[in-house]
Amino acid sequence: MRDSLLPGEGERLTVCEFMERALYDPVSGYYTRNIRYVGGSSADFATSASLDPGFSAALASWIEHEISATGDSRRGAGGKWHLIELGGGAGHLASGIQRTLGWSGRRRTQYHIVEVSPVLREAQCSTLGRKAAKVKWHPDVMEALNSAGGRAIIFSNEFVDAFPATVVQWDVESGAWHEVCLEGRGGGRFAEVLVPLSREQSKTSVVFDRACWDSLPLADGQRCEVPLSWLAWLKGWVDKAEAVSLLTIDYGDTFPELYRGRRNGTLRAYLKHQRREGVEVYADPGFQDLTVDVNFTDLQLWGEKAGFETVCFETQREFLERFSNLFSAGEPAAVAAFLRDPAGAGEAFRVLCQRKH
């Protein structure tokens, strides 16, 4: 099964195509079949929502703020405010938001979860318990948006980093960016090869703008990741959205700071909380998470080109301090402090809020 996700003899896959297979292959993909859980010692990774309920409380406070700030412009089908969570993990965020909103808040809103993983959808139902009966699940954001009547409050936590990324490498001799690919050599063996980018690709990202590297030396062999699959995802639904608030929380940074001291880029794997880099990201395909840090400069610029206004861009610490003081006492409070710690998750994660009117 694992070898079937690797390139066969004479086959060439871009790293992006390999990630797509390894993460989302319907038979052997990590998210579609083999993910164990989100959070806990048996999982491959944890999220902020699985670590402390105060994180969900902050999101609920932001939702209330967004409803107040945008008013009826976000009221959708059935006269309700539609809340669309992208990639629901194990359901911790949905459960916490529903709990914080309370009976009156749940009555005014309709909760949606966009989830492609059957394994995680089952976990979400289990976590939500009786509240699951009031939640609508969808395989893609377009279906969720249609159900909402084109008006919604859309949010995600660690969603963008799960998109397959186009991995590129700078070649100083040719003075050009190349895409990193995997070429099958038979017997389960393969090698990385570099292929020139198309002219269309080389115009998409801030990464390819030489002027943007002025404050950071562009060394031979520098690797970067460009989430072109996320851009295609955005273009697939944004024109159908009448009025949308979009909140993105993820680990990453602006460009070029994201790659300062990171000549090898940010592509990595996680298996049972163990971080794997280099050639190990190609090991155990379908049985480990693959991820990259998010280039928020691209997300912001692409959103603005698609008609979104940037409302705010801040660290997770700043966001949590603005929207919640509801962290619990005891041991979870220590976790909450970690989520806000400027030396930890509080600075490693960024929050981008955008609105399309």
Residues 255-314: tens digit of each pLDDT = 999 999 999 999 999 988 789 999 999 999 999 999 999 999 999 999 999 999 999 999
Average pLDDT over residues 186-191: 90
- pLDDT for residue 40: 55
Q: In degrees to the nearest 10, what's the CA dihedral of 126, 128, 132, 137?
A: -80
Torsions phi, psi of 38, nearest 5? -125, 115
- pLDDT for residue 334: 47
- pLDDT for residue 53: 73
Residues 156-168: tens digit of each pLDDT = 999 999 999 999 9
CA–CA–CA angle 258, 262, 265 (5° rounding): 80
Query: What is 30-164+226-356's CATH number, 3.30.230.10, 3.30.420.40, 3.40.50.10540, 3.40.50.12710?
Result: 3.40.50.12710
Domain definitions of the chain by residue range? 10-25+165-225, 30-164+226-356
- pLDDT for residue 35: 87
Prediction pTM value: 0.92
Residues 28-37: tens digit of each pLDDT = 999 998 887 6
Closest CA to 130 of 91, 89, 80: 91
DSSP string across 121-189: HHHHHHHHGGGGGGEEEESSHHHHHHHTTTEEEEEEES-GGGS--EEEEEETTTTEEEEEEEEEEETTE
Q: Which two tokens stand for residue 252?
A: 């990453």
Say whether pLDDT at 351 is over 90.
yes
Q: Please report, in angstroms and rounded to a whole number, the separation of the first and last CA atoms in the chain.
A: 46
- pLDDT for residue 247: 98
Closest CA to 278 of 267, 287, 270: 267
Find out whether 74 and 245 touch, Cβ atoms under 8 Å.
Answer: yes
Average pLDDT over residues 243-264: 97
Q: How far apart are CA 338 and CA 318, in angstroms?
A: 13
DSSP string across 43-79: SS---HHHH-HHHHHHHHHHHHHHHHHHGGGGB-GGG
Residues 106-164: tens digit of each pLDDT = 999 999 999 999 999 999 999 999 999 999 999 999 999 999 999 999 999 999 999 99
- pLDDT for residue 332: 45
Say whether pLDDT at 51 is over 70.
no
- Residue 328 banded pLDDT, cuts 50, 70, 90: very low
Q: How many C-alpha atoms does 223 have within 13 Å on its Cβ side?
A: 20
User: Helices H, strands E: what count in the chain?
Assistant: 11, 16
Find out whether 356 and 317 touch, Cβ atoms under 8 Å.
Answer: no
Residues 6+ apart with CB under 8 A from 261: none
User: 183, exposed or middle or buried, with CB in 10 Å at 0-12, 13-18, 19+?
Assistant: middle
Q: How far apart are CA 9 and CA 26, in angstroms?
A: 22
- Residue 335 banded pLDDT, cuts 50, 70, 90: very low
- Residue 326 banded pLDDT, cuts 50, 70, 90: very low
Bridge-based pairing state of the strands 243-253 and 151-157: parallel
Q: Which two tokens stand for residue 351?
A: 């929050």
Closest CA to 352 of 288, 303, 293: 303
Closest CA to 66 of 81, 85, 84: 81
Q: Left if phi > 0, otherwise alpha if psi is -120 to 50, otherwise beta: which for 278?
A: left
Sign of the CA dihedral running 302, 303, 306, 312:
negative
Q: Residue 311 is inside which H or E element, if any?
A: strand 309-315
What is the average pLDDT score of the chain? 90
Average pLDDT over residues 324-343: 52
- pLDDT for residue 343: 52
% of the chain with per-residue pLDDT over 70: 89
Say whether pLDDT at 85 is over 90.
yes
